[in-house]
Structure 1
Amino acid sequence: MPIPILSCDRNSKEKYSRFLSGAREDLTTATNRVLPILEEVRTKGDLALFSYTEKFDGIKLDKLTIDPKTIQTNIDSLTKEAFLRAKSNIEAFHNAQKRESWTKTIDGNRLGVKYTPVPSLAVYAPGGKALYPSSVLMGIIPAKIAGVPRIQLITPPQKEGIPEILIWLAQILEIDRIVTVGGAQGIAAAAYGTESVPKSEYIVGPGNAYVAAAKSYLSGQGLIGIDSPAGPSEVCIIADGEANPKWIACDMLSQAEHGEDSSAILLTTDQTLAVRVRNELEIAFVERPKRLAMKQKAIYENSAILVFPSMNDCIWFSNELAPEHLEIQTKDNDSVFSKIEHAGSVFLGPYSPVAMGDYISGTNHILPTARGSRIYSSLGVDTFLKRVTFQEVTKESLETLYPFVKLMSELEGLDEEHGTSVKVRTKETK
């Protein structure tokens, strides 16, 4: 049951429409299950957190938070070097995103924008097999650069203790505390605040369906800000006949490795490349059988190779797909990239696999999925900045512009108070 190779054009909707459905995890069941948990944390605070941690994690906690500065870690030098290199690159990239407040004179008045950071952030880090320390860097570094003053890490407790790598990262990133509560109850603690856990205004980071459901529900209630709604991991690759089929197959499988609901779409004009990539995928399944069933389901059921008549058709489809990750492996990558309108993060050239952005190059790997890049961007410094507009109107400008305000307020039926609030400041009332 190899990956399907589909010959398409822009009118072949019956062939490609299912890939444009914007796969998003159905959180209905998870939301129904987490609502009682959220309410109990809201009303009972720490007591609910202790109870749910014992129930779901099998751990009876003595306290809910730890100060990372008080814990000794023993991280090997090579691991430190890797994460410090990643930290340096991520900081350099995100430092370039800094915003400066500004003012401008418009029609005689002083107008401007003042940027202020969100006051607090919680970063969720899953535990167990789904340990993603790289996501801690991705969530915290842009927030620190934005100037967020209070940051805490939320992570489920482990029977063997909080992983040392998370503690060490919390130390080098200089965050306030680690909250040893996971799942929906950990999200609720950050959103509502409890006796031990300060409330956070924003929360980011990956998690299971219950974490996602809690974040989505609480965001909908206006209680927290969140990163863009998440769905399964995805990659789209635009490649021509000169691309390396083995490398493309590896890149497709790197997304399939995330889960059986992941997707990998290859767009090409070259039928020969399509067949060679399909063959390389089958070879890889034999040579690298780890998580085989999961990878095969992702590739066979959610992925495809689409062969279009022209490179412009490939670009068109990519823009329709608005993928989380987009790789471009063609003889003129910049020309193709210039026509890309929607993508979470783009990887140009044969030596730019998604894994580089996942870990070390410096761009952020917290990205919109499920066609979300049409309206959302990758996590960055802007995520944690609020734009406050201001104006200082001069007496002369108020006098000059009042007739227009009078007309417009009358047109909208708001002249009695809106119009009057300007009129009383003019010569007409003096």
Structure 2
Amino acid sequence: MPIPILNCDRNSRNQFDRFLAGAQEDLSSATERILPILEAVKSRGDKALIDYTEKFDGIKLTSITLDPQSIQTNIDPKIKESFLRAKANIEAFHEAQKRESWSKVIDGNRLGVKYTPIPSLSVYAPGGKALYPSSVLMGVIPAKIAGVGNIQLITPPQKDGLPEILIWLSQILGVSRIVTVGGAQGIAATAYGTESVPKSEFVVGPGNAYVAAAKSYLAGQGLIGIDSPAGPSEVCIIADSSANPKWVACDMLSQAEHGEDSSAILLTTDPSFANLVSEELEKAFVERPKRLEMKQNSIYKNSAILVFPNLEDCIWFSNELAPEHLEIQTKENDFVFSKIEHAGSVFLGPYSPVAMGDYISGTNHILPTARGSRIYSSLGVDTFLKRVTFQEVTKESLETLYPFVKLMSELEGLDEEHGTSVKVRTEDSI
């Protein structure tokens, strides 16, 4: 059962519409299931967290929060070196994103922007088989650079204790506390606050459908900020015959490794290259059988190779898909990139697999999915900054601009108070 190879053009909607629609994740059923959990945490606080943790994780909590600095860890020095190298690169990339407040004189008045950090953040870290300690780096570092002062890690408890890597990362990143509660109940605790868990203004980090549903629902209620609505992970690859088909197949499979609902879409103009990549995928299933069923479901059910008549059509489809990850492996990488309008993060050239951005290069791997890159951006320092605009109007400017305010406020029917609030300042002195 090889990966589907489809001949497409811009008019063959029946061929590729399902991939555009497939990028959306329906959280309605998950939302129905988590609503009672959210309400219970809101009304019963710590008691609900303890009860749900026992029900879902089989662990009776004696303490809901931990101070990471109080826990001894013993991390392999080579693992430490890897994460410290990643930390340094991520910090360097995000330091370049820092904002400076500014002001400018416009029509005689001093106007400007003051940047202020959000007060608090929760970073969600899944447990068990879905352990992603690299996401802790990605969530905490830009927030620290932005100036967020109160950061807590939310993670489900484990029967054999919390993973040491999460504790050590919390220590070196300056995380205030670890909240040992997972799932929708953990997200609810950050949104509402409980006796033990301080309320956060913002939450980021990957999780299952129930975590995603809780984040989206609570954000929709205006109770907490989130990075972006989450869906299955995805990669789109634009490649021509200059690319290595084995490398491209590996990149598609690295995405499939996230889960059977993940998708990997290859866009090419070369039918022969498409067949070579398909053959490499089949070889890989034999040579690397770990998580085989998961990878095959992802590749056979949610992925495809689309053959377009020209490179411009490949670019067009990529912009329609607005993928989480976009790899460009062509003879004209810079030209293709110049035409890209929507993507979470772009990986240019043959030596830039998504895995480099996932771990070590320095860019952030918390990215918009489900075509979200049409309106959302990757997690960064800006995510945790608020723009406060300000103005200081001079008496001379107020008097000069009042006639315009008078006409505009009269047009809107607000002249009695809006217009008057300006007029009195032209007549009276302080």
TM over 0.5: yes
Write the mapping of 1:318-397 to structure 2, written as runs, cut at 5 A. Answer: 318-397=318-397
Alignment check: 8 A CA contact 2:65 2:178 kept:
yes
Instruction: Give how far 1:410 is off.
Output: 0.5
The offset of 1:24, in angstroms, is 2.4
Deviations 1:204-235 (A, max 9, x none): 01111111111111111111000100111110
Answer with 37-46 or 143-152: which moved more: 37-46
Q: Distance in 2 between matches of 1:429 and 1:78?
A: 71
- Please state how far the C-alpha of 1:44 moved relative to its aligned partner: 1.1
Q: Is the partner of 2:236 in helix, strand or coil? A: strand
Distance 1:66 1:24 in 2: 36
Post-superposition CA distance 1:300-346 (Å, at most 9, x none): 11111111111111111111111100000011211111111110000
User: Cα deviations across residues 113-143 of structure 1 (Å, max 9, x unaligned)?
Assistant: 0000000000000111110000000000000
Contact 1:91 1:142 in 2 (8 A): yes
Q: Distance in 1 between the 2:335 and 2:400 partners?
A: 50
1:135, 1:282 → 2: CA distance? 31
Q: Which residue of 2 aligns with 1:165?
A: 165
In structure 2, the residue matched to 1:313 is: 313
Contact 1:127 1:155 in 2 (8 A): yes
Query: Deviations along 1:122-169, whole A, 9 cap, x unmatched?
Result: 000011111000000000000000000100000011011110000000
Q: Cα RMSD over matched residues?
A: 1.1
Residue number in structure 1 paired with 2:416: 416
TM-score in terms of structure 2 length: 0.98
* AA partner of residue 284 (structure 2): A
Contact 1:399 1:427 in 2 (8 A): no
- Give the aligned length: 430
**3-state SS, counterpart of residue 361 of structure 1:** coil
Say if 1:423 and 1:429, in contact at 8 Å, map to a contact too.
no
The 5 Å alignment of 1:23-422 reads 23-422=23-422
Is the Cα contact below 8 Å between 2:126 and 2:156 reproduced in 1? Answer: yes
Shift of 1:287: 0.8
Letter aligned with residue 293 of structure 1 = E
Look up the SS of the partner of 2:16 in the other structure.
helix
User: In the aligned structure 1, how far is the partner of 2:92 from the partner of 2:234?
Assistant: 26
Identity over the aligned pairs, expressed in percent? 83
Distance 2:142 2:338 in 1: 26
Change (3 A) 1:70 1:427: same
1:1-59 Cα distance to aligned partner (Å, 9 max, x none): 21111111111111111112252222111111111111111111111111111111111
Which portions of structure 1, spanning 4 or more consecutive aligned residues, are displaced by more than 4 angstroms?
none
1:428, CA displacement in angstroms?
8.3
Q: In structure 2, list runs of 5 or more residues that go unmatched.
A: none
**Aligned partners of 2:24 and 2:371 also within 8 Å:** no
Other-structure match for 1:19? 19
Give the drift of 1:429. Answer: 9.6
Q: Distance in 2 between matches of 1:418 and 1:230?
A: 43
Q: Give the match's secondary structure for 2:144.
A: helix
Match of 2:184, as an amino acid?
A: A
Q: Which amino acid letter does the alignment assign opposite residue 334 of structure 2?
A: D
CA contact (8 A) 1:315 1:336 kept: yes
For 1:250 and 1:12, how far apart are their aligned partners in 2?
Answer: 28
Residue 114 to residue 22, structure 1, CA distance change in 2 (3 Å)? farther
Structure 1: distance between partners of 2:39 and 2:101:
40
How far, CA to CA, are the matches of 1:19 and 1:33 in structure 2? Answer: 27
One-letter amino acid of the structure 2 residue matched with residue 50 of structure 1: I
Q: Secondary structure at 1:424's aligned position in 2?
A: helix
Give 1:340's aligned amino acid. Answer: I
Letter in 2 for 1:129: K
The TM-score normalised by the length of structure 1 is 0.98
Residue identity matched to 1:41? V
